[in-house]
Amino acid sequence: MWGVLLLGLALFLLVVCVLGKREPAHFPPGPLALPLVGNVFNIPVKQPHLYLTQLAETYGNVFCIRVGQEKTVFVCGWKTVKEVLVTQADKFVDRPYQALFSRLYNQHKGGILCCNGKTWRTQRHFAMGMLRTFGLANGTLERSICQESQHLQRAMEEHKGELFDPADLLNRAVANIICQVIFGRRFDYSDPKIQQLHENLTELVYLEGSVWGQLYNAFPALMKRLPGPHNGIFTNFQALQEFIGAQIKSHKLALDPSDPRDYIDAFLVESNNEANGELGFTEENLVLCCMDLFLAGTETSSKTLQWGLIFLIQNPQIMDKAQTEIERVIGTSRLPKMSDRAHMPYTNAVIHEIQRMANVVPLNGTRVASKDIHLGGCVIPKGSTVLAILTSVLFDKNEWETPHVFNPGHFLDSNGNFVKRNAFLPFSAGKRACVGEALARMELFLFLVAMLQNFTFSAEEGVELSSEGIVGVTRTPYPFKIRATPR
């Protein structure tokens, strides 16, 4: 009896394995996958982006990995990634079905980052318009960042040159900028609600991009019923929804349709028109859109500033040279302005190199091929999930002179002038590029210059800060402590 059952199970696994290999001609190659589970045990938990990038050396710049029965085509290297994100962007503009985001976002219908079609185009256009209306177009956000940098300076001064972890302060400073766009207000650094919000957001972003998120997408029916860290995705998501929902409720009580104060007000005005409901202007979707904007407007900039402090402490001669330029152009008595950037090529190059080396979004977001596509000598069938690995672009040895060395010279010509680089893609590129890219660029320049203007940063003597990082959706530094010595 047991022999028959075991034989039947073996035959079943063999059939699954054979069927799993039945791909069309010229389908992207990849490592051998196990029956049922695929390559799930091949992918390292800590640094998946490095493993995937290294696979390109064996299988070429277009290859396939299977997790469970779900196949993903990975694309590496600047020239090949450019094909997906820019040259053939129209064929890779939509998001594929994923069980995790389907549960969180009512996939393809909710939020900004995960939806598709007309709803996505409408919500993306609306969000970018609101960023301009409530700050980018009239200088309000620039003033807000400068004012927030003063709050950040005072908070750092309170440590009086003693060691402290800067992550919490940087999270709150950056979050207050997008909070002013979405909620029309900033939060005090001691506010326990905003502290809890950051904790929920940090854990959510880590778990979504970790192996737990991959397992949920591969085996949703099973994972939905199992205990484990993956359930933290949904509890943290719910906590964030409740916080945003409370903000929306208070906005509705004070809403003046003729004078919207922020993104929430403007969205509520649009939602009063029933015809706009089909385009995503519903109160339920407002929560999801706020979630996306808060995520996009907080996580990447905050993590980049954290990495910036690490790289500058590791390279004090570069920090000193940037501070010299800051003193020459701005001095010590006034706040920096965005107009200063054109006169500060070295500091601008340092910030760009921080973004490159930080590699804050190492794996980008998934796309789905809208038709059969020839790429890198392979055929990607219609409906395939495709992921362009940004790590492979930011560290492409064919594009960067010293890809694994922190080198601001990557963005300077022989005369010391700032130069743009095509393979600089920390915000991705094309139609799905980061909605808040302009805001992020402003935050990174104004916050970092203000910090270097007022402090010299260092680690505890004898302590070497790690460059490895914790990888989820974003790449986060391991907890570290620094000294901020007033200048």
Mean pLDDT (the chain, rounded)? 91
On whether the CB atoms of residues 452 and 355 are closer than 8 A, the answer is no
Give the model's pLDDT for residue 108: 55
In a domain, 7, yes or no: no
Res 12 pLDDT > 60: no
In a domain, 53, yes or no: no
Q: Tell me, rounded to whole angstroms, the distance of Cα 388 from its chain centroid.
A: 14
CATH of the domain at 174: 1.10.630.10
On whether the CB atoms of residues 268 and 286 are closer than 8 A, the answer is yes
Write out the two tokens for 94. Answer: 């939509």
Instruction: Taking residues 316-327, report their average pLDDT.
Output: 98
In a domain, 337, yes or no: yes
pLDDT tens by residue, 400-439: 999 999 999 999 999 999 999 999 999 999 999 988 899 9
Round to whole Å and give the CA distance between 269 and 263. 10
Query: Quick one: pLDDT band at residue 105, thresholds 50, 70, 90?
Result: confident
Give the model's pLDDT for residue 9: 44
DSSP code string of 368-426: E-SS-EEETTEEE-TT-EEEE-HHHHHT-TTT-SSTTS--GGGGB-TTS-B---TT--T
| Residue 332 three-state SS | coil
Range of the domain at 249: 92-359+395-486
Q: Which of the pair, 114 or 443, is modelled with greater confidence?
A: 443
In a domain, 61, yes or no: no
Which residue in the block uniquely carries the two structure tokens 């737990």? Answer: 212
On whether the CB atoms of residues 353 and 395 are closer than 8 A, the answer is no
How many domains are contained in the chain? Answer: 1
On whether the CB atoms of residues 269 and 256 are closer than 8 A, the answer is no
Cβ count within 10 A of residue 485: 13
Query: Quick one: pLDDT band at residue 137, thresholds 50, 70, 90?
Result: confident
Query: Quick one: pLDDT band at residue 8, thresholds 50, 70, 90?
Result: very low
DSSP code string of 227-276: -STTHHHHHHHHHHHHHHHHHHHHHHHT--TTS--SHHHHHHHHHTSGGG
In a domain, 46, yes or no: no
Could you tell me which of 331, 314, 334 has the C-alpha nearest to residue 323? 331
pTM of the model: 0.92
Range 441-477 burial, b when 16+ CB lie within 10 A, else e: bbbbbbbbbbbbbbbbbbbeeeeebeeebbbbbbbbb
Give the model's pLDDT for residue 22: 61
Could you tell me which of 470, 389, 469 has the C-alpha nearest to residue 56? 389
Write out the two tokens for 401. Answer: 């002179």
pLDDT tens by residue, 192-247: 888 888 899 999 999 998 889 988 988 999 999 999 999 999 999 999 999 999 99
In a domain, 69, yes or no: no
Residues 6+ away with beta carbon under 8 Å from 354: 304, 307, 308, 311, 312, 444, 448
